[in-house]
Amino acid sequence: MIKDRYFKKGYNQNNKSIKLNNLPFDIFKKMVPSSKEFVDKQFLLLKEELTPKELKLNFSHYVQLLHDQIYADFLKIQKTGFNKAFSDDLESGELSFEKFDKFFLSLSQSRKVRSGGVFELIIENLLKFLEYPIDTQKKIDNKRVDFVLPSVDFYKKNPLNTVLLSAKRTTRERWKQVVPEVSQSNQFYLATIDKKITSDQLKEMEKYRVFVINTLQNIDSISHYKEAANMVSFEHFLDFTLDHQKRTW
């Protein structure tokens, strides 16, 4: 019992502190930039040559481009981080399956969180570059919504002319988690680059008045995307939803 108590508190049998922060994944995390740092780096490079007009005409292209560039950047840094995290083990030849297993489990979980956060930041940065007024990460009907345009205050006064938007790189069943149950606004919009939404899923989303925003390339290449009444491109969303509603803001 005494051993267990000391171990849980981070002590060994000699009552010396165990360096818990030297685990491979802790080393890896220190080397990998935050989601915001990844997005800021690529967006700053993009802004050097991008104009608002060009972005608005080709929003789908730049959403996908930023996503792919950030992912490629992450893979490079991930390789360096992995080598550093296991450098001592590789030098000593004491490779442990348990260490690898824990590392990749933590890596898998963190990548899911990171990829979702990155996509939200991409959409946020691009919309702000076009100077759309926007509130981020606000609660509507007790559910957190990624973006409220123009603002939560406006929503309280004029919900019908407010745009509620969430961003999910992939949708699966998670879209239900972000849709307010009693949305007073006309529709709820879900931005994604997901190529695997089924026809049945789109029909179910339509029942909840959910419009899915996807890239032009994905819509043009997937037949049931083209046919879905509640699937629109990013360009269509800007021209026929945001710009239309903006007149009332």
Buried b / exposed e over 150-187, threshold 16 CB at 10 Å, is beeebbeeeeebbbbbbbbbbbeeebeebbbeebebeb
Instruction: Please check whether residue 5 lies inside any domain of the structure.
Output: no
Question: What is the model's pLDDT at position 92?
Answer: 65
Instruction: Please check whether residue 230 lies inside any domain of the structure.
Output: yes
Question: What is the model's pLDDT at position 2?
Answer: 35
Q: Indicate whether 117 and 142 sit together in one domain.
A: no
Whether the per-residue pLDDT at 18 is higher than 90: the answer is no
Q: Indicate whether 165 and 237 sit together in one domain.
A: yes
Q: Indicate whether 139 and 125 sit together in one domain.
A: no
Question: What is the model's pLDDT at position 95?
Answer: 66
Which of the listed residues 78, 96, 129 is the one where a domain comes to its end?
129
Structure tokens at 130: 């076009």
Q: Indicate whether 139 and 121 sit together in one domain.
A: no
Q: Is pLDDT larger for residue 149 or for residue 17?
A: 149
Q: How confident is the prediction for the chain on average, in pLDDT?
A: 82
Q: Indicate whether 125 and 164 sit together in one domain.
A: no
pTM: 0.78
Instruction: Please check whether residue 9 lies inside any domain of the structure.
Output: no
CATH number at residue 225: 3.40.91.80
Query: Is the CB of residue 37 less than 8 Å from the CB of residue 17?
Result: no
Whether the per-residue pLDDT at 35 is higher than 80: the answer is yes
Question: What is the model's pLDDT at position 153?
Answer: 95
Q: What is the pLDDT of residues 103-143, one digit of tens each?
A: 666 666 665 545 558 999 999 999 999 999 999 999 887 88
Instruction: Please check whether residue 10 lies inside any domain of the structure.
Output: no
Which of the listed residues 129, 153, 180 is the one where a domain comes to its end?
129
Q: What is the mean pLDDT of residues 86-100?
A: 66
Of 242, 47, 16, which Cα lies nearest the Cα of 232? 242
Q: How many structural domains comprise the chain?
A: 2
Q: Indicate whether 173 and 188 sit together in one domain.
A: yes
Whether the per-residue pLDDT at 7 is higher than 60: the answer is no
Whether the per-residue pLDDT at 40 is higher than 60: the answer is yes
Q: Indicate whether 240 and 139 sit together in one domain.
A: yes
Q: Indicate whether 52 and 87 sit together in one domain.
A: yes
Q: Is pLDDT larger for residue 58 or for residue 103?
A: 58
Q: Indicate whether 177 and 82 sit together in one domain.
A: no
Q: What H or E segment, with its residue span, contains residue 206?
A: helix 199-207
Q: Indicate whether 124 and 25 sit together in one domain.
A: yes
CA dihedral 208, 213, 216, 218 (to 10 degrees): -70
Instruction: Please check whether residue 2 lies inside any domain of the structure.
Output: no
Of 133-147, 182-196, 224-238, least confident by mean pLDDT is 182-196
Binned at pLDDT 50, 70 and 90, residue 208 comes out as: confident
Of all residues in the chain, the percent with pLDDT exceeding 90 is 55
Which of the listed residues 129, 147, 180 is the one where a domain comes to its end?
129
Tell me the C-alpha distance between 190 and 180, whole Å.
12
Domain extent at residue 108:
20-129
CA dihedral 123, 129, 130, 132 (to 10 degrees): 70
Q: Indicate whether 118 and 166 sit together in one domain.
A: no
Question: What is the model's pLDDT at position 116?
Answer: 56
Q: Indicate whether 117 and 139 sit together in one domain.
A: no
